[in-house]
Amino acid sequence: MNIVDRFLKYVSFCTTSDENTGMTPSTPGQMEFARYLAEELKSIGMTDVSLDSNGYIMATLPESKDRPSDSKSKVESPVIGFIAHMDTSPDASGRNVKASIVKAEERDYIDPRYAGQDVIVTDTTTLLGADDKAGIAEIVTAMEYLIQHPEIKHGKVRIGFTPDEEIGCGADHFDVKKFGAEFAYTMDGGAVGELEYENFNAAACKIRVHGLNVHPGTAYHKMRNSMRIAYQIAVMLPRFQTPEHTQGYEGFYHLIGMNGTVEETTLSYIIRDHDRTQFEYRKRELEHLVRKINTEYGEGTAEIEIRDQYYNMREKIEPVMYIIDLAKEAMESVGLTPVVKPIRGGTDGARLSFEGLPCPNIFAGGENFHSRYEYLPIPSMEKAMEVILQIIQKVK
């Protein structure tokens, strides 16, 4: 199966994750997709294919027979890995994706730099799912290519596909020891050429505000409207420290959900900052605002829960920068200029790096992720697959 057909098959599975189910994987469609992938990996000739009860897939491409060794290499025959995630973002529907191939000029939301290219788009009623089914298609197609071309000598390669990355849980049950790689790459970046080894420090925050409902006709000095109090908290945060007003290394507070009644309201935030000191300050600032509300309205009016999600992988990648140099060389060998930039987000690789598996991020090729206007230039996807092949061949 070619890479385009493979990707189009993958997006037919609805794998939207859901942080409210408390299950792993969080939605049944992910396990359905995982079963399909496990069988596909066996069919193309991968070995040690495993699918556990949490929806994590691992498989092996064995080392080539009669592969020459290079004792002068910085890394002596390391096992390397490639990882991608199966779920799609809850920010837009991933059900009944209607994908088609168009020329870039046929859609006004496609960047002009892709002019003349074939691009996979949706009918704009759903997201596409290139984040990260493009990454899976690239990895699987690269593995199939190497199996079909035994003349290309390579070391042992491990691949892993995870659930629930989009809700911050992709590494929760990833067994680094079982994976057994010295280092790995997540194929989860955006535009062609991107290479990332810096990401946000990230936390999730829930603030619950408790009110008191009284008949509005007799509410004077009695009613506490939790929605109004919650709004008071929201407007006390810096107005311009939000995603739509920040870029590059700038951090933010992002209100991603507000649900409430007079009696109770919940605010859901994500907190992001590349700088660890500023990250800790942002968390303390939210705690400070909750204390102010409780001073004004009474103890227990507002409660806060903050959960760290992942940290900036840079501190774990810098000691092994040769894996970044390797990725750069691979990109250059297929005619790309590497675009090294910080991730304004995170990947499974961020958490895995802190668990002992250095894991920078390489482009998967898609654009407008998490949006109904998501699209995937086919040449970008093909280049990502070529980069995988080059990395594998350059490891001696």
What are the tens digits of pLDDT across the range 123-143? 999 999 999 999 999 999 999
What are the tens digits of pLDDT across the range 271-319? 999 999 999 999 999 999 999 999 999 999 999 999 998 899 999 999 9
Nearest to 51 by CA among 163, 145, 156, 148: 163
Residues in the chain, how many? 396
Nearest to 361 by CA among 67, 85, 33: 85
* Ranges in the chain annotated CATH 3.30.70.360: 206-310
Confidence category of residue 71, pLDDT binned at 50, 70, 90:
very low
Q: Tell me the C-alpha distance between 244 and 249, whole Å.
A: 14
| pLDDT value of position 72 | 47
Residue 124 DSSP symbol: S
The mean pLDDT of 179-192, rounded to a whole number, is 96
Q: How far from the centroid of its chain's Cα atoms is residue 73's Cα?
A: 32
Pair type for strands 302-310 and 361-363? unpaired
Q: What is the DSSP string of 312-331?
A: -THHHHGGGTHHHHHHHHHH
| pLDDT value of position 77 | 78
Question: Beta-strand (E) ranges in 31-189?
Answer: 47-51, 57-61, 80-85, 99-103, 118-122, 157-162, 183-189
Residues labelled as active-site residues: 87, 165
Confidence category of residue 380, pLDDT binned at 50, 70, 90:
very high
For residue 66 the two structure tokens come to 């009669």
Residue position matching structure tokens 């390579």 = 154
Architecture of the domain whose range is 3-199+312-394: 3-Layer(aba) Sandwich (3.40)
| pLDDT value of position 343 | 87
Contact 20, 120 (CB under 8 A): no
What are the tens digits of pLDDT across the range 88-104? 999 999 999 999 999 99
Side by side, the strands of the sheet bearing 376-377 are 99-103, 118-122, 376-377
Confidence category of residue 383, pLDDT binned at 50, 70, 90:
very high
Q: Is the peptide bond before 325 cis (omega within 30 degrees of 0)?
A: no
**Least confident piece of the model among 11-20, 64-73, 313-322, 335-344:** 64-73
* The domain defined by 206-310 carries CATH number 3.20.20.100: no
| pLDDT value of position 76 | 57
Whether residue 39 is predicted with pLDDT greater than 90 in this model: the reply is yes
* Ranges in the chain annotated CATH 3.40.630.10: 3-199+312-394
Three-state SS at 287? helix
Q: Tell me the C-alpha distance between 112 and 103, whole Å.
A: 11
For residue 227 the two structure tokens come to 């929605």
What are the tens digits of pLDDT across the range 221-240? 999 999 999 999 999 999 99
Q: Tell me the C-alpha distance between 117 and 102, whole Å.
A: 8
The residues with which 268 forms a beta bridge, in sequence order, are 206, 257
Whether residue 70 is predicted with pLDDT greater than 60 in this model: the reply is no
Average pLDDT value for the chain: 95
Question: Beta-strand (E) ranges in the chain?
Answer: 47-51, 57-61, 80-85, 99-103, 118-122, 157-162, 183-189, 194-196, 201-210, 252-260, 264-273, 302-310, 339-340, 361-363, 376-377
For residue 87 the two structure tokens come to 């779920």
Q: Tell me the C-alpha distance between 159 and 172, whole Å.
A: 17
Say what the alpha-carbon torsion angle 253, 364, 327, 355 is, to the nearest 10 degrees. Answer: 50
Residue position matching structure tokens 């829960």 = 305
What are the tens digits of pLDDT across the range 315-347? 999 999 999 999 999 999 999 999 999 988 877
Pair type for strands 99-103 and 264-273? unpaired
Whether residue 161 is predicted with pLDDT greater than 50 in this model: the reply is yes
Residue position matching structure tokens 């898609």 = 366
Q: What share of the chain in percent tops pLDDT 90?
A: 92
Q: What's the Cα-to-Cα distance from 256 to each of 118, 163, 272, rounded to whole Å? A: 34, 21, 13
Residue 270 DSSP symbol: E
Residues 6+ apart with CB under 8 A from 327: 185, 195, 338, 360, 362, 387, 391
Please return the burial class of 379, using the count of CB atoms within 10 Å of its CB with bins 0-12, 13-18 and 19+: middle
Q: Please give the model's pTM, rounded to 2 decimal places.
A: 0.87
| pLDDT value of position 68 | 63
| pLDDT value of position 348 | 87
